[in-house]
């Protein structure tokens, strides 16, 4: 049986922690990000990947090839998987959400308070532009690729508030996966 789960959430909300927990506690799991293709392209040219560059490249590709260009690439990969849990990390746009629904997926919205998310992003150092002042973090959250997260998240099948401990988050993740 195939379970397809889309994750949506603001920067630092806990999407990657969600994936890490599933990776450690479930078998036959596949992780795909809408930004994977963007990261792969940028790494061909640069040693460091910046969120701003991913956002620009995403907009350029969508403008040239259509809003669903990154979705089409993921759907092709999903169709080749016959069994297991497939997690699409980084749903951000209406076309992403429509594609997820069209292939029978469920959307989980992971969210947290803004200050807490900023503190998490600063300390994780995942991207070259993660260690920014709070004002810049707020500005980055208003970027085109980030702007629809709360709107689409409101339509999610499940919502996880990640404002406390990792252990609490893990319980919520297990409940979510098991209910799908």
Give 136-144's long-range contacts (Cβ < 8 A, gap of 24+).
137/11, 138/114, 140/11, 140/51, 140/52, 141/10, 141/11, 141/114, 143/51, 143/52, 143/55, 144/55, 144/59
Measured in degrees and rounded to the nearest 5, phi and psi for residue 51 equal -55, -40
Lowest mean pLDDT segment, chosen from 42-51, 138-147, 150-159: 138-147
pLDDT at position 128, please?
63
Please give the Cα distance from 35 to 164 (Å, whole number): 27
Range of the domain at 83: 2-179
User: Sign of the CA dihedral 84, 173, 102, 95?
Assistant: negative
Q: What is the pLDDT of residues 78-133, one digit of tens each?
A: 989 999 999 998 898 888 899 899 999 999 999 999 999 998 888 887 766 667 87
DSSP 96-131: HHHHHHHTT-EEEEEE--HHHHHHHHHHH--STT-S
What average pLDDT does range 165-172 have in this prediction? Answer: 96
User: What single DSSP character describes residue 84?
Assistant: E
Q: What is the pTM of this model?
A: 0.81
Domain of residue 119, CATH code: 3.40.50.300
Domain count across the chain: 1
31: β partners: 87
Q: What is the pLDDT of residues 8-59, one digit of tens each?
A: 999 899 999 999 999 999 999 999 987 888 998 999 999 999 988 998 999 9
Report the relative pairing of strands 158-161 and 106-111 from DSSP bridges. parallel
User: What single DSSP character describes residue 174?
Assistant: H
What average pLDDT does range 62-82 have in this prediction? Answer: 88
Give how far the C-alpha of residue 153 lies from the chain's centroid of Cα atoms, to the nearest Å: 11
**Cβ atoms of residues 163 and 113 within 8 Å:** yes
């Amino acid at each position: 049986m195939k379970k397809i789960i889309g994750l949506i959430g603001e920067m630092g909300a806990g999407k990657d922690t969600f994936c890490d927990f599933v990776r450690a506690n479930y078998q036959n799991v596949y992780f795909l990000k809408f930004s994977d293709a963007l990261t792969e392209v940028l790494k061909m040219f640069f040693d460091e990947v910046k969120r701003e560059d991913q956002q620009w490249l995403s907009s350029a590709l969508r403008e040239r090839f259509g809003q669903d260009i990154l979705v089409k690439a993921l759907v092709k990969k999903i169709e080749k998987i016959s069994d297991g849990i497939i997690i699409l990390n980084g749903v951000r746009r209406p076309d992403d959400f429509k594609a997820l629904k069209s292939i029978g997926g469920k959307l989980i919205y992971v969210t947290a308070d803004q200050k807490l998310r900023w503190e998490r992003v600063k300390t994780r150092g995942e991207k070259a532009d993660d260690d920014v002042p709070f004002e810049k973090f707020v500005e980055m959250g208003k970027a085109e690729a980030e702007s629809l997260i709360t709107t689409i998240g409101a339509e999610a099948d499940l919502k996880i508030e990640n404002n406390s401990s990792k252990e609490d988050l893990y319980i919520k993740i297990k409940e979510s996966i098991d209910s799908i």
